[in-house]
Structure 1
Amino acid sequence: MARSTFPRDRFDDLPDATGRIGAHRAEPTRLRGWIVFLWAAIATLVLIIAGIFGTLVLSGRISLGADDASAPTFSASPTTPAVIDTSYTVVVLNGTAEDGLAASLREQVIAAGWADDTVETGNSDTTDFAQTTVYYLRDTDRAAAEGLAQTIGGAQIAQSDFLQPTDDPNTPDDESDVKRLVVVIGLDRAPGSTPAATAP
């Protein structure tokens, strides 16, 4: 060791220290980092759950009350009220192989108030139509279709342009304005038959 050229002072008489001098920090372990990350993840998850729960409570989707008034209630969706509207012409088609169904249903419709000359009958292109259906054209025709379906009983309704009149450009009248309901009789009205199709 090189000799010091500085003059001696009172610190030169101190004994040499043994061991470490100063602060020595241990190298952080990887496990401690994972613990911090885990706690942060848990805290984040708790905050998210609390936020979702609070939002549901404030929006009324969750009620903290225990009485019966807090139980969820269900209401049926509003439907178009059925009306018997005899201003519509009615076409009755037999969608089965059973003879006489169209004529019988025609008499039922006339008995409900339709004029004799406003109800026509015929045969569908198929003989295995499944469910008796009342077809209507416009949204405004739905109530009348519901009324006719209830009149004949057990029929469903469907919106379609099936057999609906179209305007003839060679005539002054607009034939598409004619209000018409089309009934296709299904195998549900034919004794001993098995429904197999759903299109007229």
Structure 2
Amino acid sequence: MQKSPRDRFDDVPRATGRVGAHRAEQPGMNGLVVLLWSAAVALVLIVCGIFVSLVMMDRISLFGGDEPAPVQTAPGVVAEVDPSYRVLILNATPEEGLVAEVREKLLDEGWSTEDVFGSDGASQEFSKTTVFYVADEDEGAALGLADLLGGAEVQKSDFYAALNDTDEPQLTVVIGLDRVDGEPTDSETPAP
């Protein structure tokens, strides 16, 4: 075997301590600490991702109330009571029995029993009774239903569209705190 030529590093004394210490394991790093920090970072990233997704899907409102802004009705839209629509009624108040009252009112107006259904909503702090519709062609029926209920608001939103399990058009009535006494007051009914 051939010997390498002599250079200036051959004169360095060998008693200088550890060689390659920059590659040694950090004495303060523990495997459990690294695992816990990794889990904490992953949890923060997952929570941030879910929050951003909910904001982008308009499921969470950052700078406003929990109700969407009212929709301006298009000119020439005529309110009509149309019992061919399915109607979902959600009670967003702490008072019980409001769904049954609204359901009876609709059944008296010609809706069939299988087309009117409802339950208590997830929230109990919805301020104003509102009729939600999905498509523009549903606006006239939503306005008619709102008039039938005594002056409810009307808004276009696809938030409740996933609750429709058929191809038939559906309107959603969310009963608000303005109906806790049963009927709206004169100040809540819209001017003609």
Coarse TM-score class (shorter-chain normalised): 0.5 to 0.7
Structure 2 equivalent of residue 188 of structure 1: 178
Compared CA separation, residues 164 and 188, structure 1 to 2 (3 A): same
Instruction: Compute the RMSD of aligned alpha carbons.
Output: 2.2
CA drift of 1:185 comes to 0.2
CA drift of 1:112 comes to 1.0
Inter-partner Cα distance in structure 2 for 1:178 and 1:91: 12
TM-score (norm. length: structure 1): 0.51
- Residue type at the aligned position of 2:179: R
Tell me how many residue pairs correspond in the alignment: 109
Inter-partner Cα distance in structure 2 for 1:167 and 1:113: 20
Inter-partner Cα distance in structure 2 for 1:152 and 1:99: 18
Kindly indicate whether residue 151 of structure 2 is the aligned counterpart of residue 154 of structure 1.
yes
Inter-partner Cα distance in structure 2 for 1:166 and 1:187: 22
Structure whose CA Rg is larger: 1
TM-score (norm. length: structure 2): 0.53
Determine which of 92, 96, 110 is the counterpart of 1:95: 92
CA drift of 1:191 comes to 2.7
> What percent identity do the matched residue pairs reach?
43
CA drift of 1:116 comes to 1.1
Determine if contact 1:165/1:178 at 8 Å carries over to the other structure. Answer: no
Determine if contact 1:88/1:181 at 8 Å carries over to the other structure. Answer: yes
The 5 A counterparts of 1:1-200 are 78-165=75-162, 175=166, 177-191=167-181
Determine if contact 2:88/2:118 at 8 Å carries over to the other structure. Answer: yes
Compared CA separation, residues 117 and 188, structure 1 to 2 (3 A): same
Secondary structure of 1:125's aligned partner: coil
